[in-house]
């Protein structure tokens, strides 16, 4: 182990902090692979940085430090409250806690009181929750993740555009055809994610590939756009293409649906599939292995979201949106709007997902 003051140790810790600023969270296993050191070394580095108050240790890694993660009196760590901002997400589970943690950390640093409400994926419920916050008359701005598809989604976006306070969409964007001029957003570039997925599978030798997405997910459409474009440009064949409702993959017909998927892969010679999202990828991999398939020798599996993919057997290669960073940028965007007003140009930010290689698509030694 190199001493804490050695150039190697200092360089490692600087790398950890750089990754935290970029993504909002880091994992010990990923850092150890990237830096070529033992996981124990990374844990010690994280411990030293946590002792200095520069990050927060969590199970398996670290996150950006926020006001709620320190025992220092709050008045010495948080900026004076300048703005009160509402935040409405369609869920408080799975993907969204990471977004909220990033937003909370930025809010603490920038003097924002964040008022959180969890809605559902129902347009009516989202409008009710947002309307309740707006009607309180106490907000300066809004961070929201609304439905954007169909007539109801379009109507909701037009209503958000008309509100008397600035609105920033989080992990959502308005269709260009609506020509909305006031809404701002921060979202993962899922189109790029689809392209990156196809490129990775091509790079490890797959020519016949497939895609399985969650029907109705806001991520599925842009993910497919990037995938379709890259598959064509790379000269791949996509012979398995399924958009399965979530209730099917969580219901009693799940195994039959997966069996049909695998039979389709076998019949077409498909050797790799992209699956959105993680739970579906894990279920497909489990069923495949239980019925005699070898992963990745018979079928490589690539997940999108990277919430639980690392814990599968074998660990699943995944594309990971920088969720905490998206939350931070959303708060920074609304603060910029509230501080600078109309003179600030409308800002619409795309954040690239990152590819995390694991054993479901490549042999890692």
* Residue 234, pLDDT score: 98
Mean pLDDT, all residues of the chain: 91
Share of residues in the chain with pLDDT > 70 (%) = 94
pLDDT tens figures, 19-54: 887 777 788 988 998 898 999 999 999 988 888 778
H helix intervals, the chain: 7-23, 28-35, 39-51, 96-110, 123-135, 150-162, 190-203, 220-234, 246-249, 254-268, 278-290, 323-340
* Residue 152, pLDDT score: 97
Greater model confidence, 23 or 240: 240
| 3-state class (DSSP) for residue 168 | strand
pLDDT of 144 higher than 80 = yes
Greater model confidence, 87 or 6: 87
* Residue 75, pLDDT score: 35
pTM of the prediction? Answer: 0.79
pLDDT tens figures, 282-339: 999 999 999 999 999 999 999 999 999 999 999 999 999 999 999 999 999 999 999 9
| 3-state class (DSSP) for residue 222 | helix
Sequence-distant (≥ 6) Cβ neighbours of residue 210 within 8 angstroms: 238, 239, 240, 241, 242, 264, 265, 268, 270, 272, 273, 274
- Using pLDDT thresholds of 50, 70 and 90, give the confidence band for residue 57: confident
Distance CA 23, CA 334 (A): 19
* Residue 65, pLDDT score: 64
Greater model confidence, 271 or 71: 271
* Residue 78, pLDDT score: 58
Region 74-96 average pLDDT = 80
Q: What angle do CA 128, 133, 137 make, to 5 degrees?
A: 135
* Residue 308, pLDDT score: 93
pLDDT tens figures, 154-203: 999 999 999 999 999 999 999 999 999 999 999 999 999 999 999 999 99
């Amino acid at each position: 182990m190199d001493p804490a003051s050695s150039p190697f140790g200092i360089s490692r810790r600087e790398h950890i902090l750089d990754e935290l600023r970029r993504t909002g969270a880091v994992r010990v296993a990923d850092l150890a692979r990237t830096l070529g050191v033992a996981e124990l070394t990374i844990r010690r580095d994280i411990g030293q940085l946590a002792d200095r108050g520069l990050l927060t240790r969590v199970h398996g890694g670290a996150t950006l430090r926020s006001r709620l993660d320190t025992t220092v009196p709050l008045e010495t760590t948080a900026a004076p409250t300048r703005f009160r901002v509402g935040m409405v997400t369609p869920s408080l589970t799975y993907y969204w806690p990471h977004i909220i943690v990033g937003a909370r950390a930025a809010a603490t640093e920038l003097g924002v009181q964040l008022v959180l409400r969890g809605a559902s994926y129902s347009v009516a419920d989202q409008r009710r929750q947002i309307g309740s916050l707006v009607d309180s008359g106490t907000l300066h701005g809004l961070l929201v993740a609304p439905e954007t598809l169909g007539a109801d989604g379009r109507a909701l976006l037009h209503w958000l555009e008309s509100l008397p306070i600035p609105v920033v969409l989080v992990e959502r964007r308005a269709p260009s055809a609506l020509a909305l001029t006031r809404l701002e957003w921060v979202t993962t570039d899922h189109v790029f994610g689809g392209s990156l997925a196809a490129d990775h599978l091509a790079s490890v030798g797959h020519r016949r590939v497939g895609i399985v997405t969650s029907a109705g997910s806001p991520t599925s459409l842009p993910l497919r756009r990037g995938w379709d474009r890259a598959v064509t440009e790379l000269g791949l064949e996509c012979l398995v293409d399924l958009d399965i409702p979530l209730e099917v993959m969580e219901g009693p017909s799940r195994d039959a649906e997966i069996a049909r998927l695998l039979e389709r892969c076998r019949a077409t010679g498909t050797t790799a599939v992209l699956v959105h999202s993680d739970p579906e990828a894990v279920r497909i991999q489990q069923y495949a292995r239980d019925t005699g398939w070898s992963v990745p020798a018979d079928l490589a599996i690539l997940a999108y979201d990277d919430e639980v993919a690392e814990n599968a057997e074998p660990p699943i290669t995944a594309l990971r949106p920088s969720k905490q960073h998206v939350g931070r940028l959303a708060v920074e965007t609304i603060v910029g709007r509230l501080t600078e007003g109309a003179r600030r140009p409308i800002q619409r930010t795309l954040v690239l997902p990152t590819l995390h290689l694991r054993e479901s698509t490549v042999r890692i030694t």
